[in-house]
Amino acid sequence: MEEFFINWDDDADMVIQILRNLLQKPGTANFREVISPDKLEFAISLLNTTLEKQKHLETFIFPRLKNWDADRIAALDMIIMKMGVAEFLYLETIPPKVTINEYIDIAKEYSTQQSGQFVNGILDNIHKELQLQGKLHKIDFRKA
């Protein structure tokens, strides 16, 4: 399977669980709903926000790329950082520390060996500046 599907290691457990459920109870597996509606809504919102606000998000990232040419940064690292800044600015129920930790883990798992530290440095720097400027408007998700 790994020869045909590059992400098999990541997806294998989910696929095996779905197939097991299907074989045990035919007709109960819903392949159209691999993730919950809430998670799908969040993913679509994050994707749309990141794409729509891409240039604005870059204005937070590019000034912090000291001694780095933006074109030479791994594309995945840039996407990860844009998504992180989008969460800081536009998704008010996600605590900034959760955002930073999630994107560090994603960078470590799916990008280069140095990506986790790089993404951590950039996002932490942006988070601190946004906090100082009073531009973070987060609400407690339990009260939302």
Tens digits of residue pLDDT in 41-89: 999 999 999 999 999 999 999 999 988 887 788 899 999 999 999 999 9
Q: Which domains does the chain possess?
A: 1-34 (no CATH), 36-132 (1.10.940.10)
Answer for the pair 5, 11: CB distance below 8 angstroms, yes or no: yes
Q: For 72, phi and psi rounded to 5 degrees?
A: -95, -5
Higher-pLDDT residue of 112 and 18 is 112
Say yes or no to pLDDT of 120 above 50. yes
- What is residue 141's predicted lDDT score, i.e. its pLDDT? 53
23-59 in b/e burial notation, b at 16+ Cβ within 10 A? Answer: eeeeeebeeeeeeeeeeeeeeeebeebbeebeeebee
* pTM as predicted: 0.76
